[in-house]
Amino acid sequence: MTDHPPESACHRAMRRLFDFLDGELADADDAALRAHLAECRDCLAHAEFERTVLAAVAAQRGGAPLPEATRARVMAALEEAGLS
């Protein structure tokens, strides 16, 4: 990546990398980026690294379960506000 001029194929591909990893690219752009990664080892390494980090972030999903005390507090407030 750093060995290429700013408007190289690598630069264009990496500008779209997050969109690609998030599944936000249109089919044609997605295919073009996949084709680039298949032939560029540097960009593939960057992509794999970003994918690893995003997977580690996604592993934080699930979060905190709703405490019963919070549910009871919210329900009490709603009923006091007129929820029938």
Partner 1 sequence: MYSMAESAPIPAPDFRETALPFLPDVYRFARSLTRDAADADDVVQETFLRALRSWRTFIPGSDCRRWLFTICRNVYLRSRERAERQVALDDGDDEAIAAVQAHAGWVRDGTDVLLARLDLGPAISAALDELSEPFRSAVVLVDLEDHSYEEAAAILEVPVGTVRSRLFRARRLLQERLARFAQDAGFTTSPAGGMR
Least Å from the CB of residue 21 to partner 1: 10
Q: How far is Cα 40 from Cα 17, in angstroms, rounded to an integer? A: 13
Q: Name the H helices within the chain.
A: 9-15, 17-21, 27-39, 41-58, 68-80
**Rounded distance between C-alpha atoms, residue 79 and residue 71, angstroms:** 12
Instruction: Build a one-symbol-per-residue string for 30-69: x at contacts with partner 1 by CB under 8 A, - elsewhere.
Output: ---------------xx--xx-xxx-xxxxxxxxxxxx--
Residues found in the chain: 84
Task: Compute the least distance from the CB of residue 58 to partner 1, in Å.
Answer: 6
Residue ranges that bind partner 1, judged by CB under 8 A? 1-2, 11, 14-19, 22, 24, 45-46, 49-50, 52-54, 56-67, 70-71, 73-74, 77-78, 81-83
